[in-house]
């Protein structure tokens, strides 16, 4: 449940996150209705409670705003009633979690300073191209400045709570990294690598069948010359239509699967021994003839050669998500949650 993953580089989505997921619109009045793809639906009164947490209602208006943030990402016109219902349940559950966390922040006495709220509001506003664009977005949501500040305060309180209760308590030691490495050796393997020389005889993708056949014949002739001993690098320099590799005699350097310059060549190239001439292989850009220069088998990576900071970050992220879930589940088990 990654409810703290708002991307600050996406201003309007961030704004919607604050206006819906963190209940900025609590008590704000009518929200834009997000209807299921079938006629079967409950009443449209935005003040209708859809759930409650310890007696605090979550309304249809709040749920609609959160759904409006979620549905565009899924393409609501193609949603079945079953999928719509699943998404609605997920969004409502997120709102319930946010209310549980906000109530917990109040219980433990977390206070958000007005200066922090001002700074966050200014940060959100700065992500819009102009003050007018920000105001237009606010008005489109039917919100007031006080509701914006209230939602930001909730967001900051929840963030401070999770930092204090979970995030600040998680650290990953070198011994933990080594233990993880020893228990997951299969994840730390340098994949099989290959180095080729590639020669492209370009053909217009929209060309006639005659053009493609002409390209194939030319590529086949060059492959035959290479197999008879002609210098492949020189053939590339004289004939290849690939400007990226032409000056290097077609040399791709060592690459692993999925990184070859022509995906269609991959299977054929890895199946050939070092020194073999392969092709012509038809690709989107024409026909490719290749020579296998070098191959390296997959091999385990030594712990000493790993990017430790990246590994530490990955393990910490996994541990954080697990701890957050455990902590939130504990809070939820103590809360009086009702869904209507």
pLDDT digits (tens, 9 = 90+) for 78-125: 678 888 899 999 999 999 999 999 999 999 999 999 999 999 989 888
At residue 76 the predicted structure's pLDDT band, cuts being 50, 70 and 90, is: low
| Alpha carbon distance 323, 170 (integer Å) | 9
For residues 132 and 38, state if they share a domain.
yes
pLDDT (0 to 100) of residue 18: 46
pLDDT digits (tens, 9 = 90+) for 221-274: 999 999 999 999 999 999 999 999 999 999 999 999 889 988 899 999 999 999
For residue 79, count CB atoms less than 10 angstroms from its CB and return exposed for 0-12, middle for 13-18, buried for 19 or more: middle
Give the C-alpha distances (Å, rounded to integers) separating 193 from 162, 252, 255, 279.
Answer: 43, 11, 5, 19
Residues in the chain: 340
Question: What three-state secondary structure class fits 290?
Answer: strand
Specify the range with the lowest mean pLDDT, choosing from 6-10, 32-36, 52-56: 6-10
For residues 328 and 268, state if they share a domain.
no
pLDDT (0 to 100) of residue 65: 82
pLDDT (0 to 100) of residue 35: 54
Q: Is residue 59 part of a domain?
A: yes
For residues 199 and 253, state if they share a domain.
yes
For residues 129 and 250, state if they share a domain.
no
| H helix runs in 33-107, sequence order | 60-74, 81-107
Rounded mean pLDDT of 38-46? 58
Q: Determine how β-strand 193-202 pairs with β-strand 49-53.
A: unpaired
CATH of the domain at 276: 3.10.50.40
At residue 126 the predicted structure's pLDDT band, cuts being 50, 70 and 90, is: confident
Q: Is residue 184 part of a domain?
A: no
Most confident of 129-138, 247-256, 300-309: 247-256
**pLDDT at residue 131 greater than cutoff 60:** yes
For residues 214 and 284, state if they share a domain.
yes
For residues 335 and 215, state if they share a domain.
no
Which domain does 210 fall in, by range?
189-299
For residues 201 and 136, state if they share a domain.
no
Q: Is residue 135 part of a domain?
A: yes
The set of residues, in sequence order, having a beta carbon less than 8 Å from that of 67 and lying 6+ positions away, is 20, 34, 87, 88, 91
For residues 295 and 321, state if they share a domain.
no
**pLDDT at residue 2 greater than cutoff 50:** no
At residue 279 the predicted structure's pLDDT band, cuts being 50, 70 and 90, is: very high
Phi, psi of 150 (to 5 degrees): -65, -45
Question: What three-state secondary structure class fits 57?
Answer: strand
Look at residues 132, 140, 122, 126 and name the one whose alpha carbon lies nearest to residue 28. Answer: 140
Q: Is residue 52 part of a domain?
A: yes
For residues 15 and 132, state if they share a domain.
yes
| Alpha carbon distance 131, 121 (integer Å) | 12
The distance between the two most distant Cα atoms of the chain, rounded to a whole number of Å, is 84
For residues 157 and 247, state if they share a domain.
no
Q: DSSP character for 187? A: G
Six token digits for residue 135: 């105001």
pLDDT (0 to 100) of residue 39: 40
Rounded mean pLDDT of 18-23? 36
For residues 136 and 20, state if they share a domain.
yes
Percent of the chain residues past pLDDT 70, beyond the cut: 85
Provide the number of structural domains found in the chain: 2
**Higher model confidence: residue 107 or residue 20?**
107
Name the average pLDDT for the chain. Answer: 84
């Amino acid at each position: 449940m990654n409810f703290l993953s708002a991307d600050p580089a996406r201003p309007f989505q961030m704004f919607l996150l604050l206006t819906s997921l963190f209940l900025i619109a609590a008590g704000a009045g009518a929200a834009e209705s997000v209807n299921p793809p079938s006629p079967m639906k409950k009443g449209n009164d935005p003040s209708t409670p859809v759930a409650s947490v310890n007696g605090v209602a979550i309304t249809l208006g709040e749920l609609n705003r959160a759904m409006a943030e979620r549905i565009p990402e899924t393409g609501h016109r193609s949603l079945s009633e079953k999928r719509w219902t699943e998404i609605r349940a997920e969004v409502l559950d997120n709102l319930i979690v946010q209310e549980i966390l906000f109530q917990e922040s109040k219980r433990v006495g977390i206070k958000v300073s007005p200066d922090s709220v001002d700074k966050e509001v200014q940060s959100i506003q700065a992500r819009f191209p102009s003050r007018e664009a920000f105001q237009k977005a606010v008005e489109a949501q039917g919100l007031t400045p006080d509701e914006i500040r209230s939602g930001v305060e909730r967001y900051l309180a929840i963030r401070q709570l999770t930092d204090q209760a979970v995030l600040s308590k998680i650290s990953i030691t070198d011994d933990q990294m080594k233990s993880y490495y020893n228990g997951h050796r299969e994840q730390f393997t340098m994949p099989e690598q290959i180095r080729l020389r590639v020669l492209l005889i370009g053909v217009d993708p929209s060309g006639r069948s005659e053009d493609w056949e002409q390209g194939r014949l030319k590529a086949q002739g060059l492959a035959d010359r290479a197999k008879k001993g002609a210098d492949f690098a020189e053939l590339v320099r004289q004939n290849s239509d690939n400007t990226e590799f032409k000056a290097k005699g077609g040399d791709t350097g060592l690459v692993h699967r999925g990184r070859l310059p022509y995906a269609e060549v991959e299977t054929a190239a890895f199946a050939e021994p070092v020194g073999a001439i392969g092709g012509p292989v038809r690709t989107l850009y024409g026909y490719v003839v290749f020579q296998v220069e070098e191959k390296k088998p997959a091999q385990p990576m030594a712990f000493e050669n790993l990017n430790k900071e990246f590994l530490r970050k990955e393990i910490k992220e996994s541990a954080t998500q697990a701890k957050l879930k455990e902590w939130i589940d504990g809070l939820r088990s103590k809360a009086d949650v009702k869904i209507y």
